[in-house]
A and B are shown apart, each in its own frame.
Chain A
């Protein structure tokens, strides 16, 4: 019997890899646990081990072959020497293609990428470069968090910072979120400008008391004496199949709190402008990134520009319906808008909030006065979400302009399930957005 060894996916976002080294040759015997090859992925170099016992019958690629798609056979193991290639092992080998959601995400990024010119960078780079620039400009700025220094960031956002700024300003912390967050708040009270990286925002819950009770309220409680110039940043929301405890959207949690400012970039360009504003702001700012968007390439600018908080961006102009969204859902909304144009001849206006608190009611209200219909799209749970606040603003300031009840598109009102099909159902999909827009147009 023959068993194929497939190009493995070594991270949830990997689609192809390079074969850097073979540790076996044809005819060689292998047992479970033997290292057979070295593979280079988007993030790292990893070893592949045999799981089955047998003889290497064939190697399909040479050392140095690049861009081998995930799940392509790279070698064949046979349990007998010299046996002919027979039927494949039916049960274990490559039946399932990559998770559909990931593919969809890749499509998002590829589409985006092709639209833009040469001078592109990923969101990951945009954030990294902006942190570095601000650290060069102001010695008070420093960054701390788990794995930010020597490991170069769990998601490689802080790559190279330790090398440039040294361990005094790029600081690895123990897994002590409440402690290092409180420490950073104290440092900010005393005049430094900390950037606190949460490996993901899920872990900010360990520290939420310091963020809300200390960072957000002290200016007020001290009668205006003590401000807290600090940025809390990291990936927020769902990644791919990391399940309930690692897939939460905190945008409405933090937007609820007076004293905090909350922003959520959607592209490499607004990531730069918003992050600069965040670091320069004398108040605590929650900067909500998105893991799936880290690899998304987009426009770059080397200018020292900022995006003011409280200013939304009209990502696509339109006249028939307003979609209000932010972060990763911007991209799904733009795709939905394309479908709505092509299939229903609806010209949708898409507003990217960028800043959740303060919220740009003016842009929203003006848009609704033009389109008379509005749908909100976000990844958070529906109860008391950012969209709920948008609904409140619109009913108050543009009630007479509405031609249909407002529809909110949110994630399902349950904890995030692990299984990929359920995960897909949980998250807002392009179809859900299309259907909501159709509904407010009575189609």
Chain B
């Protein structure tokens, strides 16, 4: 693994914290009725996407699920525009027409934000197909939930990716539950990283609560895929602190289980590392904390002051 510089460390810390503060603010705005429909928070999983972010190239593509706010922040997209989408405003990434689950930024190679479980997997494979077709040396990172790993099209995509040697990195975010169903109640043989074996796709399990482990694994896997060896699977073990969506009380797990994960909180680990390595002082970090709270607060204010789409927008964008 490449040695992390001071600015790398601070980048990791601030992105992870930014995601967490953003999600807390989303939760509040949902409670107030500014955000509607479903709203899937990423709190607890920050190390996964931020770890991968540290290894990504600008022209690589990404595709993910409806649990996408953190993924967009990590992609360097603007919190104020993400929040604008969540609140259904014109300044949102989908002009208020997609909402929390369906956000895109073609310019930044971010291909969504998909609401149908599993659908993003063949799509990500097709984006990888295009990278290969164009011979551009970029790869597509395709995120998959643990629950989605039981959806048939995932395996059709795996087969195609292996058969045609496509540059796609599958990242399974195993947060232990698909809605209320624990992995072992849904997946026979719950080692999800092995599910490409039959197609000859290598897989590996990663501690997703520790961002440094994620960086290490994602770097190696990314190089493998980029070098033309075909697809690769990372199963990143993580945990979501909140319910599946806002109205899920998460009664299917114990408080002790949640507390256990919270006690090895991914952000706390980074903070400790930074202080231990004397990369930055407690004071510096506190200052950063304050700045991030302010940034997210002003993102929320920006969103709430942004306009709702015009009536005419109902009929635009159906066809080009």
Listed in ascending order, the chain A residues whose CB lies under 8 Å from chain B are: 6-12, 14, 32-33, 41, 43-46, 48-49, 51, 53, 70-71, 91-99, 146-147, 150-151, 154, 172, 174-179, 202-203, 206, 239-246, 412-415, 417-422, 425-426
Contacts and interface: CB of A to CB of B under 8 A. Distances in A.
B150 A176 contact: yes
B31 A48 contact: yes
Contacts of B314: 412, 414, 417, 422, 425-426
A179 B21 CA distance: 39
Contacts of A246: 37-38, 101, 115
A82 to B, nearest CB: 22
A32 B96 CA distance: 27
Interface string B13-26: 00000001100110
B98 A92 contact: no
Contacts of B248: 44
Contacts of B38: 242, 246
B102 A175 contact: no
A172 B85 CA distance: 34
Contacts of A245: 101-102, 114-116
Contacts of B181: 146-147, 150-151, 172, 174
Nearest to B179: A147
B178 interface: yes
Q: How large is the interface on B (under 10, 10 to 19, 20 to 34, 35 or more residues)?
A: 35 or more
Contacts of B117: 175, 203
A360 B294 CA distance: 61
A208 to B, nearest CB: 13
B249 A44 contact: yes
Contacts of B252: 150-151
23 contacts: A10-B246, A11-B246, A32-B21, A41-B247, A94-B32, A147-B181, A150-B181, A172-B185, A174-B150, A175-B148, A175-B186, A242-B38, A243-B97, A243-B101, A244-B98, A244-B115, A245-B101, A412-B314, A413-B318, A418-B96, A418-B97, A425-B311, A425-B314
A92 B308 contact: no
Interface stretch (B53-61, B128-136, B227-235, B297-305): B297-305
B207 interface: no
Interface of B: 20-21, 24-25, 27-28, 30-34, 36-38, 85, 88-89, 94, 96-102, 114-118, 147-148, 150-152, 178-181, 185-187, 243, 246-249, 251-252, 293, 297, 300-301, 304-305, 308-309, 311, 313-315, 318
B180 A422 contact: no
Contacts of B31: 6-10, 48
B101 A92 contact: no
Contacts of B36: 12, 99, 240-241, 418, 420
Nearest to A101: B36
Contacts of A421: 88, 308-309, 311
Given A46-B249, A95-B304, A241 B37 contact: yes
Contacts of B311: 421-422, 425
Nearest to B31: A8
Contacts of B33: 9, 70-71, 96-99
Q: 3 shortest A-B CB distances, which residue pairs?
A: A8-B31, A418-B99, A241-B36
B313 to A, nearest CB: 6
